[in-house]
Structure 1
Amino acid sequence: MRHSSVALAYDDLAERWLDERFSHTDGVQQHTRALKFLAEGISGWALNVGCGCNTRFNPILRERGLEIEGVDISERMVALAKAADPTVTVHHADVCAWQPPRRYRFISAWDSIWHVPLAEQRSLMLKLMSALEMGGVFIFSAGGLDGPQEHVDSAMGPSVYYSTLGIPDLLDVIKDAGCVCRHFELDQYPQRHLYIIVQRFA
């Protein structure tokens, strides 16, 4: 089962996100951009999907008055995340089955949704965007391909599953969720790493 294989792979890889092999600024600039779309002076909750054990986004989320909640499928990642920042509520769960307990001003799914089986990605994205408050912002990364694709990669050691809906279907699901795309960027071109900032308006 792909869900369990991803969990086991990231159990093995968890410590890598805490040492010099991992950039501790990865995604911070993109999240700073996304947070600018939130109205000023309103507190609320932020959800980090596939939060991992690195807490680099937490300071900039707190600067915007956001309380932080995380969810991750890797038991080891969750344990390390709780040790690194005990004030954050972190759920050890498969986000596809997990039900958000509240609505959020901000949701991040940075380099995590692409590990979800292709057949489940659309329903997961609809669930996450429906958990946004009105005016809430969702940032996520994906494979910036022209159509759906899935593959297994062992570049980090363990075999890890990846998939993407592809750019046309990603934009369709954003529209179907009652959200609008605020920013769209292939930020590591020519690599096909895509990130999108979405805001709920309906």
Structure 2
Amino acid sequence: MPLTTTALAYDELAERWLDDRFDPLNGLTQHERALRFLPDDAEGWALNVGCGCNTRFNSLMRTHGLQIEGIDVSARMIELARAADPALSLHHADVCSWQPPRTYRFIAAWDSIWHVALKDQRALMLKLMHALDAGGVFLFTAGGLDAEGEHVDAYMGPELNYSTLGIPGLLKVIAEAGCVCKHLEFDQYPQKHLAVIVQRV
């Protein structure tokens, strides 16, 4: 399923993630944990991949001295994000073809990159991890399967693609990128929702 389809789906769904409608605690504990791996003086840039329109993580990242850059394939998400937090540096782009303009102390991809086709997952993961500063941290979510997999789901209404490299595949690409897995958990067990924290050595 092409990312243009994902963009149109999230244009349609965007208002579901507005700050006053969405659970403000969703993913917050995992972001707090990931940011604790940064040194106390870790000023620099954070990249929010699939940033959406919800700003619940922004103040937390700023307390760690981070300037925030966001990227999303949905034009409506970008429009709402800009209205909610005008200080953000935002890109309306497909993260698979987009080239990061800098390196980052922190990268988050919360419930976003699993929409990328399985054939493109490995290259995207490598690109994001290579965009980390030394000691930088990458937090992402993935399908917690024992092997790679891909499927289409219409749970939210529009059809959306979901894919994962599977836990062994994720650990392999993390090592290949010169990074270390610092934390891995099924944070919504028994759902196969996997939260992973990676650090560049």
Q: Which residue of 1 aligns with 2:170?
A: 170
Give, in angstroms, the shift of residue 20 of structure 1: 6.1
Residue identity over aligned pairs, in percent, reads 67
Scaled by the length of structure 2, what TM-score is found? 0.98
- Paired with 1:150 and 1:92, the residues of 2 have a C-alpha distance of 25
- Paired with 2:62 and 2:74, the residues of 1 have a C-alpha distance of 24
Give, in angstroms, the shift of residue 131 of structure 1: 0.3
Q: Secondary structure at the match of 2:23?
A: coil
Q: Which residue of 2 aligns with 1:115?
A: 115
Give unmatched runs, 5+ long, in structure 2. Answer: none
CA shift digits 1:34-54 (9 cap, x unpaired): 000001113100000000000
Residue correspondences, number: 201
Scaled by the length of structure 1, what TM-score is found? 0.98
Q: Which residue of 2 aligns with 1:62?
A: 62
Please show how residues 1-202 of structure 1 align to structure 2 within 5 Å.
Answer: 1-18=1-18, 22-201=22-201
Q: Secondary structure at the match of 2:102?
A: coil
Q: Secondary structure at the match of 2:162?
A: strand
- Paired with 1:99 and 1:81, the residues of 2 have a C-alpha distance of 21
CA shift digits 1:91-127 (9 cap, x unpaired): 0000000000000000000001100000000000000
Give unmatched runs, 5+ long, in structure 1. Answer: none
Superposed structure 1 runs of 4+ greater than 3 Å apart:
none
Give, in angstroms, the shift of residue 23 of structure 1: 1.2
Give, in angstroms, the shift of residue 134 of structure 1: 0.2
In 1, are the aligned partners of 2:19 and 2:54 still within 8 Å (CA)? no
Q: Letter of the 1:139 partner, please give it.
A: L
Q: Letter of the 2:56 partner, please give it.
A: R
- Paired with 1:126 and 1:42, the residues of 2 have a C-alpha distance of 22
Q: Secondary structure at the match of 2:68?
A: strand
Give, in angstroms, the shift of residue 21 of structure 1: 5.2
Q: Secondary structure at the match of 1:71?
A: strand
Q: Secondary structure at the match of 2:56?
A: coil
